[in-house]
Structure 1
Amino acid sequence: MSQHDERQTPHGEQDSAAENAPRPDIEKVQDGSEEYVDAGKASADSVAETDELMAELDQARAEAEQYRDQAVRAAAELENVRKRAQRDVESARKFAIEKFASELLGVRDSLELGLKAAEDNHGDFDKLKEGMEMTNRMLASSMEKVGIEPINPEGETFNPEYHEAVSTQPTDELAPNTVASVMQKGYTLNGRVLRAAMVTVAKPAGDS
């Protein structure tokens, strides 16, 4: 029996209830006409869209995990660099004078030998002086190697950056504001003042 026959009453009349029953494969469209819908195709499209979204979600999670691992490794490497730098600074602070200290060992050896020679020679001042001069040369050489230079500005113009005036000396032999004498040498370390030279500064003889 056809679909049309099924909708007929025993008397051959069309069943109005059957006519008005909803048909799942037909839906109304905007213009009032009926359009056939494939329910199986709609369901398959929905599943495919869900699978695609899940795949994108899984990919996003994998990328997020990768970035997190990279961030953790970068933070660990940064911490290692910081610790190495801290160790280097501490080592530099502890052993900064190692080179100079090794130079001073020779100077001390020379002093001890000089003292022993003075005792053995029962006050031979010429030998003692010779030993002291040799020790002084060794010390000057050691200081020069590490960048320590003396400031001995006698006869130079007074410079407050490198000289400390402790007194003035009236004189006509030197121009005013000239270093007349050096009471104590100064020293620089690679151009920076370690100790200013203590000096006497010339002034005109007529000044009170």
Structure 2
Amino acid sequence: MANEDKRDSQEQTEQAEQQAEAQTAEQVEAETANGNAQEGEQPRDGEDTVESLRARLDSLNAAMEAAKEQVLRSQAEAQNARRRADQDIEKAHKFGQEKLVVDLLPVVDNLERALDSLNLDDPSFKAIIEGIELTHKSFIDVLAKHKIEAINPEGEPFDPELHQAMTMVANPDVEPNTVIDVFQKGYTLHGRLVRPAMVVVSKPE
């Protein structure tokens, strides 16, 4: 009986140890499975992080390109503004005295009328004529120095941009629409018309 009890006790002990080992193996397998599952999820987390970084990088690149474009646009606007300012300054230098020129032109007209009204063959007028001619020449030289040029289109085709027709006269000796007489010379300042020439234009009979 004692031996049987001893064998029964050993068998129970061995069974208990086997059950314990089985439970331990199951726990190890379970933990291993959990660990593998967790390790399997880490790459997904890593991929999400890379995608997030790439998205942020793309956003930063887009913002940088927009900033570059804005800077280039601002530089272009600044250059255009500076160019317009330079043009305005240049025009002010060229045409700032336009009103003064217009006011001085009648003086030249009066000198020319005085020469036309005098008898150039009369010796008694010689000194007067020479004085008026010198004054007129000096005046014309000053005007030319400041880029003021006369328009005397007699014999030229009529140009409405530069001439003002006072009347039209039939003249078979010249082509129609030709300037046959100049009442008053015109003038330009740096190529810009400041006073048109007053002219007589031919027309067909």
CA distance in 2, matches of 1:184, 1:127: 26
- 1:168 offset after TM fit, Å? 3.5
Structure 1 residue runs of 5 or longer lacking an equivalent are 8-17, 27-36, 112-123
* Offset at residue 45 of structure 1 (A): 1.0
Q: Would the alpha carbon gap of residues 40 and 137 (structure 1) be closer, same or farther in structure 2, given more than 3 Å must change?
A: same
Aligned twin of 2:133: 133
| 1:66 CA drift (Å) | 1.6
- Taking the aligned partners of 1:71 and 1:40, their CA distance within structure 2 comes to 47
State how 1:82-161 maps to structure 2 within 5 Å: 82-97=80-95, 126-144=126-144, 146=147, 148-153=149-154, 156=155, 159=158, 161=160
Matching residue's letter, 1:43: E
Cα deviation for residue 125 of structure 1 reads 6.5
Asked if structure 1 preserves the Cα contact closer than 8 Å seen for 2:151 and 2:197, the reply is: no
Partner of 2:47: 49
Shift of 1:55: 1.9
Q: 1:202 to 1:179 in 2, by over 3 A?
A: farther
**Among the aligned pairs, what percent are the same residue?**
16
Relative to 1, partners in 2 of residues 1:135 and 1:97: Cα closer, same or farther, differing over 3 Å? farther
Alpha-carbon distance in structure 2 between the residues aligned to 1:42 and 1:186: 95
Greater relative contact order, per chain length (Cα 8 Å cut-off, separation 6+): 2
Decide which moves more: 84-93 or 187-196. Answer: 187-196
Q: Which amino acid aligns with 2:66?
A: R
Change (3 A) 1:65 1:133: same
- Higher-helix-fraction structure: 2
Q: How does 1:180-199 map to 2 (within 5 A)?
A: 181-187=181-187, 190=191, 194-199=195-200
| 1:154-169 mapped onto 2 (5 Å cutoff) | 156=155, 159=158, 161=160, 162=163, 164-166=165-167, 168=169
Count of aligned pairs? 160
TM-score by length of 1: 0.51
Unaligned runs of 5+ in 2: 1-16, 109-123
Offset at residue 64 of structure 1 (A): 2.6
TM-score scaled to structure 2, two decimals? 0.51
1:71 partner SS: helix
Query: d(CA) in 1 for partners of 2:38 and 2:175?
Result: 112
